[in-house]
């Protein structure tokens, strides 16, 4: 259960650093790893460096097959609901003792309601600000 909480916190941290913008032109990829959870966030920005979307891949290593299966089943329940939203692509998979969750959010297509549910309705940032904040939290960005 502790790893599930870490997973959600990592995802919310990365998502909370992003904002709205127009069409994608550039990308910044930030990676962080803590307590067996690795998060890779690729932020898309427009020509003015406004964040237009983010693709997050979160890989968690479970301590047992039972933990993996339980967590997978819980996360799998969210897949259909998440994918009903425009601008959101969500997938969950497992391999060996690893759980891999991928969320791709397009700020130009996602509704204000979805953005609000994810805590992003009032966030407006640039790629440079995202990178600075992520690195301040210990992520490696390029």
Confidence of residue 23 (pLDDT cuts 50, 70, 90): very low
Q: What is the pLDDT of residue 124?
A: 64
Distance CA 48, CA 52 (A): 10
Long-range Cβ contact pairs of 116-121 (< 8 A, separation 24 or more): 118/12, 118/15, 119/12, 119/15, 119/16, 120/15, 120/16, 120/18, 120/19, 120/20
Q: Which position has the higher pLDDT, 131 or 122?
A: 131
Residues 6+ apart with CB under 8 A from 119: 12, 15, 16
Structure confidence at residue 17 (pLDDT): 45
Mean pLDDT of the chain: 81
59-77 per-position pLDDT tens digit? 999 999 999 999 999 989 8
Contact, 134 vs 32, CB < 8 A? yes
Phi, psi of 65 (to 5 degrees): -65, -35
Indicate if the pLDDT at residue 55 is higher than 60.
yes
Provide the pLDDT for residue 25. Answer: 58
Indicate yes or no: pTM above 0.85: no
pLDDT at 123: 55
Higher pLDDT, 32 or 117: 32
């Amino acid at each position: 259960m502790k790893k599930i909480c870490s997973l959600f916190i990592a995802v919310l941290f990365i998502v909370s650093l992003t904002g709205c913008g127009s069409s994608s032109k550039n990308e910044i990829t930030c990676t962080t790893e803590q307590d067996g959870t690795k998060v890779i966030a690729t932020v898309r920005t427009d020509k003015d460096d406004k964040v237009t979307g983010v693709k997050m891949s979160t890989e968690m290593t479970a301590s047992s097959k039972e933990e993996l299966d339980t967590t997978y089943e819980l996360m799998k329940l969210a897949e259909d609901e998440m994918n009903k939203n425009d601008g959101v692509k969500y997938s969950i998979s497992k391999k060996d003792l690893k759980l891999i969750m991928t969320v791709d959010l397009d700020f130009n297509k996602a509704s204000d309601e979805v953005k609000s549910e994810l805590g992003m309705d009032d966030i407006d940032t640039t790629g440079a600000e995202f990178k600075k904040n992520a690195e301040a939290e210990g992520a490696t960005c390029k």
